[in-house]
Amino acid sequence: MLNILVVEDEPLVQQRIVRLVREILGPAASIDSAMSLDDADDALRRRVIDLLLLDLNLQGEDGFTLLRRAVASTFHTIVISAHAERALDAFALGVLDFLAKPFPRTRLAQALERAQAATRMSGRGAQLVGVWRTHGVALLPVDDIAWIQADGDYTALHLVNGRRELHDKTLDRLQQVLPAAFVRIHRSYLVNMQQAEALQVEGGGRYRLRMRGGTELPVGRSRVQAVRERLL
């Protein structure tokens, strides 16, 4: 199943894209749609996607804003735009394909075939995580993250160098896209096991995981065995 998000602000164009994708992929596709950057952000928070079909001009907003965020995600992106002159900039940000409007059905079918092949080859496992900074999005290698802590509607990324960064996705959402080295040890903690040193038993049957640098994090009882196996 290919989970797809179509981001297009012209209703008729959006309907055509969705219809063609359904015709080409049939039951192999689950399709959601959005008409603005805010709607797209909401959709990306709600579900994990495999493929983004993105217009670059969204009610006066620049789709490149979303494209830059997508660099740190595990999904692939196909740009569908009338602005063919922006193709080189899009490819520089790692898009899988660029379809110039108007496009024939055969061209979309070709792009979707590439997306299916790329998804089968890459699987899950983001190598970069995007965090907001004053002047835009900064990309952090996931190996720089020691552990991640729930912080209300956000998460706090605790880095190997001691810094702390806020992220706008929940622990559940991050766990779905990060590499297997990241293990949920508690409802509030997701840990990079490459940075873990030892499992410690405390009084009352409580457990804590000691990280490099000395920080100790609580381990839920139901997760102790999984943590112990990863430390072997």
User: pLDDT by residue (tens digit) across 134-179?
Assistant: 665 677 888 999 999 998 878 999 999 999 998 877 888 788 778 8
Write down the pLDDT at residue 2: 87
Q: Quote the longest CA-to-CA distance of the chain.
A: 68
pLDDT over 70 (residue 86): yes
> Rounded mean pLDDT of 117-145?
71
Mention the CATH class of domain 2-122.
Answer: alpha beta
Q: Rounded to the nearest 5°, which phi and psi values hold at 36? A: -150, 170
% of the chain residues with pLDDT over 70: 91
- Kindly indicate the confidence band of residue 73, based on its pLDDT and cuts at 50, 70 and 90: low
User: Look-up: residue for tokens 């297997």?
Assistant: 180
pLDDT: which is higher, 122 or 24: 24
pLDDT over 90 (residue 7): yes
Looking at residue 38, its amino acid is D
- Kindly indicate the confidence band of residue 16, based on its pLDDT and cuts at 50, 70 and 90: very high
Strands 136-141 and 128-133: antiparallel
pLDDT over 60 (residue 121): no
Q: Can you name the CATH fold of 140-231?
A: OB fold (Dihydrolipoamide Acetyltransferase, E2P) (2.40.50)
pLDDT: which is higher, 186 or 38: 186
Domains of the chain: which residue ranges? 2-122, 140-231
Tell me the two tokens of residue 92.
């520089």
Write down the pLDDT at residue 125: 59
